[in-house]
Amino acid sequence: MKSRTIPLGALTAGLMAPALLSAAELADPAAIERFLESEVAARNLPGLVALVTDEDEVIYVSAHGQRNVAGGLPMTTDTIFRIASMTKPIAAAAIMMLVEEGRLSLDAPIGDYVEEYADARVITGPVGADGSFSTRPAAQPITIRHLLSHSSGLAYGFASDTVTALNAAGVNGADVPLLYDPGEAWSYAGGIAIVGRVLEEIEGIGLDEFLGQRLFEPLGMTDTSFAVPTVKNERVTTTHGRDDTGALIENPNADEIRSAPSGDGGLNSTAGDYSRFIQLILNDGVAPDGQRLLRPESVAELGRNQLGDVRVSLQDEPNPALARAFPLGAGRDGFGLGFQVTGAHEDPDVRTPGSMSWAGIFNTEFWIDPASGIGAVLLMQYLPFYDADAIELLQAFEARIYSELR
């Protein structure tokens, strides 16, 4: 499993070169290289891409393992990954553009735009063996702010035993009651998809077109899309899942790699492309070419804890083959608009308080640390989400980055 590193200029072109990137920010990038190489082999992982950027340029990137094991294709730094819920922070940034323009309010009830959520109800007890349950009216309306901060009372089935039971009883979509009154707790949900539909109605174009025009084109994110062009298919990594013995089984790619445009997931991207979005946040809304895409106040709002005294909580794991309990930081961290926000701590070997982060279900991860002036991406492509090997590797990678910075 050979690793590869490339110079920044070759990153988007997908060209390979043997030299490490500039080490201006990292004391010994070769040590990170050796660490990642050994971890992929020791943990028998298919492959990964790791990247670190500051506000101006990528300062470290490497690829390890294979992007297609059956095909014998090596992982490269321009490999395309399904980034799943790493779509959410991008969609939240797009929604803030409408807020800036006065075309949408974060505190507007979502029911003003999507009728089926106008009269939300809250479940009041467990789901019975016969699928029965009881509800009451919600104490307050669901707002767009609630949806972007996962405090609406909605939840994904894969992260909630209650929603899983409701789905099994045939209750789906907007018929699923809330788990709690809006603003009273935190549960991981697809609320940003609902707001994405509102954006489409306001703009009169699809979310994919809006993101392309307002974010991807000005940022130079040329490999980010909901549908991968056929000519790029070979660059897309395969996915893996664990069988009953814990072994990773490869799933071949389909002939067409595409997802329906949605605010809560579905994008395909590369580490290099995502680093440009990270740089947008580190530069308070200014793109690498100097164009302002977001106001500094909007970037600050994205990264501001929206939960008050509520904290991110550990989610259920009704389907351990799909997702284990998550996230790291439960009980300590808050949540902004599309981003988890690191809470107070005194550990010098990890991202600082106020850092912004999130992940995708195939174990793709990123964080943005404005206080330290860096962001990082760690992309893998296998299930279950929050698999122990993936999380241990993420934490060790993070600790090494900060030790090299210091």
Q: Active-site positions? A: 85, 88, 188
**Cα–Cα dist 393/206, whole Å:** 37
Looking at the DSSP bridge assignments, the partners of residue 53 are 58, 375
Asked if 192 and 147 count as a contact pair (C-beta separation under 8 A), the reply is yes
Asked if 4 and 33 count as a contact pair (C-beta separation under 8 A), the reply is no
Asked if 333 and 341 count as a contact pair (C-beta separation under 8 A), the reply is yes
Residue 169 tokens read as: 């009883």
Q: How many CB atoms lie within 10 A of CB 2?
A: 10
**Cα–Cα dist 326/188, whole Å:** 10
Phi, psi of 269 (to 5 degrees): -160, 175
b/e burial code for range 298-314 (CB count within 10 A of at least 16 → b): bbebbbbbbbeebbbee
